[in-house]
A and B are shown apart, each in its own frame.
Chain A
Amino acid sequence: MEPALEISLTWLDWTIILIYLVAMIGVGLFFQKKQGSFEDYFLASKGLTMPLLIGSLVSTFYGLDTLFGTSEIGFFEGVTGFFAYALPYTGLYLLMAFLAPRFRELEGNTFIDLIGKNYGKFAQAISACSSFFYAINTMEMMGIGFIFTLLFKIPFWLGVLIAAVIVVTYTYTGGLWAVAVTDMFQFTIMALSLGIALLICWTDLGGYNGIYSGLAAYLDADPWYFFSPSGGYLTAGVIASYALTSLAVLCEPAFLQRIFASRSPRDARHALLISTPIWTAYEFACCMLGLAAVAAVGLGVIGEPHANLALIAVVARYLPPGLIGLFLAGVLAAAMSTADSYFLVSSGNLVYDLYRPLFNPDLSSEKLMAYTRRAVIISAVISVALSFYFERIMGVWVFQASILINTVLIPLYASVFLKKLPKTRLSGSLATATGFFGTIFYYLLISTTGHFSEDWGTMVLQINFCGRSVELWQEYGIFLIPPFVLLAFLIGQLCGKEKAPRTA
Chain B
Amino acid sequence: MSGWDLGIYVAAAVLIVAPLGVFSSYLREITRRLREDDWGAPPPTPLFRTGRYTQEEKEDR
A contact residues vs B (CB 8 Å cutoff): 31, 34, 40, 44-47, 49-52, 54-55, 101-102, 104-105, 177, 181, 184, 187-188, 191-192, 194-196, 198-199, 202, 207-209, 227, 263-266, 274, 277-278, 281-282, 284-285, 288
16 contacts between A and B (CB under 8 A): A45-B39, A51-B22, A55-B22, A177-B39, A184-B22, A184-B23, A188-B20, A188-B23, A192-B19, A194-B15, A195-B15, A195-B16, A209-B2, A227-B4, A274-B22, A282-B15
Chain B contact surface mostly? helix
Query: How far apart are the CA atoms of A358 and B9 in the complex, in Å?
Result: 53
A191 in contact with B19 (CB, 8 Å)? yes
Return chain B residues, CB-CB under 8 Å to A264. 44-45, 48, 57
The smallest beta-carbon distance between A151 and chain B, in angstroms, is 23
Query: How far apart are the CA atoms of A196 and B40 in the complex, in Å?
Result: 36
The residues in B between 13 and 61 inclusive whose CB is less than 8 angstroms from any CB of A are 13-16, 18-20, 22-23, 25-26, 29-30, 39-42, 44-46, 48-49, 57
**Chain A residue at minimum C-beta to C-beta distance from B28:** A51
Return chain B residues, CB-CB under 8 Å to A102. 49
Query: How far apart are the CA atoms of A264 and B12 in the complex, in Å?
Result: 31
Most buried by A among B19, B39, B45: B19
The smallest beta-carbon distance between B13 and chain A, in angstroms, is 8
The smallest beta-carbon distance between A43 and chain B, in angstroms, is 9
Return chain B residues, CB-CB under 8 Å to A55. 22-23, 26
Q: Beyond A184-B26, A188-B23, A202-B8, is A104–B14 a contact (Cβ under 8 Å)?
A: no
B44 in contact with A46 (CB, 8 Å)? yes
A265 in contact with B49 (CB, 8 Å)? yes
- Once A and B bind, how many residue pairs between them come within 8 Å at the CB atom? 122
Return chain B residues, CB-CB under 8 Å to A40. 39-40
A105 in contact with B44 (CB, 8 Å)? yes
Q: Name the one of B15, B22, B29, B40 contacting A281, with C-beta atoms under 8 angstroms.
A: B15
Return chain B residues, CB-CB under 8 Å to A209. 2
B7 in contact with A284 (CB, 8 Å)? yes
B39 in contact with A187 (CB, 8 Å)? no
Q: Beyond A45-B40, A198-B8, is A105–B15 a contact (Cβ under 8 Å)?
A: no
Return chain A residues, CB-CB under 8 Å to B18. 191, 274, 277-278, 281
Q: Name the one of B15, B30, B41 contacting A198, with C-beta atoms under 8 angstroms.
A: B15
Most buried by A among B13, B41, B57: B41
A281 in contact with B45 (CB, 8 Å)? no
**Chain A residue at minimum C-beta to C-beta distance from B4:** A208
Query: How far apart are the CA atoms of A139 and B40 in the complex, in Å?
Result: 33
Q: Beyond A51-B29, A105-B44, A264-B48, is A199–B9 a contact (Cβ under 8 Å)?
A: yes
Query: How far apart are the CA atoms of A264 and B43 in the complex, in Å?
Result: 8
A285 in contact with B11 (CB, 8 Å)? yes
Q: Beyond A45-B39, A208-B4, is A278–B15 a contact (Cβ under 8 Å)?
A: yes
Return chain A residues, CB-CB under 8 Å to B40. 40, 45, 47
Return chain A residues, CB-CB under 8 Å to B5. 202, 207-208
B11 in contact with A284 (CB, 8 Å)? yes
